[in-house]
Structure 1
Amino acid sequence: MARYTCSFIVSVTIDHLQPLVVELLQDCEFDVQYYTADYIMAREIPGSVSFSKLVKVEVLIDKSTATETETRMSIVIKNEELPLQLDNHCRQVFEYLKQAIEHNRHWHLIETIAG
């Protein structure tokens, strides 16, 4: 199973982060399946790749360390594909989503920590 993780610290209040991340995932062609104030689960929309390559995304928003100006969030991107090649589908989606988060106009990125 391919699995990629990354953490971000962004300058946005915790109250605004969750709806902004849901919107970002939808803009990136993900179907948001479930969300709460500190957790979001989405999956790639079927049709363009085989079922085993469909990517799932989990976003965890860290409420315990959030301040009025900064919030930490972590993403986990995974699928059932064996990562036999460095540039597999899951990795491509991970890089695409990572760039979308880093260049989002609704917040200022303070730090990225790849896992």
Structure 2
Amino acid sequence: MARYTTSYTVALPLDRLRLLLVEVLKTCPVDILYETVDYIMAREVPGQVSFPKLVTVELLIDRTTATPTKTSMTLVMKNEELPLQIDNHCHQMFDMVTQAIESNRNWQLVENVAGELPTI
């Protein structure tokens, strides 16, 4: 199983962050499956790759450390594909979603802790 993670702290209050994250995910080829105040789950739209390569996106928003000006979140992306190559499909989708998050003009990134080593 390929799995890539990264954590962000953004200069944005908790209540605005979730709505903006949903907007960012809608720009990527994923469907939002589940959404709560502190969790968003999406899945890649079927049809372009085989079923085991379909990527699941999870965004966990840390409400416990959120302040009126900053909120932390963790992005986890995974699929059933073995990461036999560095540039596998899950990694390509991870790059696309992280680029969409990092280039969004609605917030300012305060911190980014990358942990994108694949795990099996």
TM-score range, shorter chain: over 0.9
TM-score normalized with structure 2 length:
0.94
Q: How far, CA to CA, are the matches of 2:5 and 2:59 in structure 1? A: 10
Runs of 4+ off more than 3 Å: none
The answer to whether the aligner puts 1:41 opposite 2:37 as a matched pair is no
1:98 alignment partner in structure 2: 98
| CA-based RMSD | 0.6
Counting only pairs closer than 5 Å after superposition, residues 19-38 of structure 1 correspond to structure 2 as 19-38=19-38
1:3 alignment partner in structure 2: 3
Q: How far, CA to CA, are the matches of 1:26 and 1:100 in structure 2? A: 10
TM-score normalized with structure 1 length:
0.98
**Stretches of structure 2 lacking an aligned partner (at least 5 in a row):** 116-120
Aligned to 1:18, what secondary structure does the other structure show? helix
Q: How far, CA to CA, are the matches of 1:29 and 1:48 in structure 2? A: 10
Q: How far, CA to CA, are the matches of 2:29 and 2:89 in structure 1? A: 15
**1:57-92 C-alpha deviation (Å, 9 max, x unpaired):** 000000000011100000100000000000000001
**1:34-77 C-alpha deviation (Å, 9 max, x unpaired):** 00000000000001111110000000000000011100000100
2:118 alignment partner in structure 1: none
Opposite residue 69 of structure 1, the aligned amino acid is T
Q: How far, CA to CA, are the matches of 1:19 and 1:98 in structure 2? A: 17
Q: How far, CA to CA, are the matches of 2:52 and 2:36 in structure 1? A: 27
| Alpha-carbon distance, 1:29 to partner | 1.8
Q: How far, CA to CA, are the matches of 2:94 and 2:29 in structure 1? A: 13
What is the number of residues matched between the two proteins?
Answer: 115
| Alpha-carbon distance, 1:105 to partner | 1.0
